[in-house]
Amino acid sequence: MRTTDLHAILAAPHVALAAAQEGPQRAAVTSAFASALETGKLVGAAAVLAGGLLAAALLRRAG
């Protein structure tokens, strides 16, 4: 992925929020962004847990 692509992805929520000036559109954009952050945190936590379990299994096997 190129840096310009990354900047476009990171700017997308801000552009959408700026375009949704008021009312239900703005609430929908805010809710979608919050949901995406929540999902990202959940995926990250699951990855950390899986990595910890894998490391424990490998250490147990090596010892």
- 2, pLDDT greater than 70: no
Apex 50 CA angle, 59 and 1, nearest 5: 115
d(CA 15, CA 19): 6
pTM over 0.85: no
What pLDDT, on a 0 to 100 scale, did the predictor assign at position 15? 66
What pLDDT, on a 0 to 100 scale, did the predictor assign at position 1? 46
What pLDDT, on a 0 to 100 scale, did the predictor assign at position 26? 74
pLDDT tens per residue, range 4-61? 555 655 666 666 666 666 777 777 778 888 888 899 999 999 999 999 999 999 999 9
Q: Where are the domains of the chain?
A: 3-62
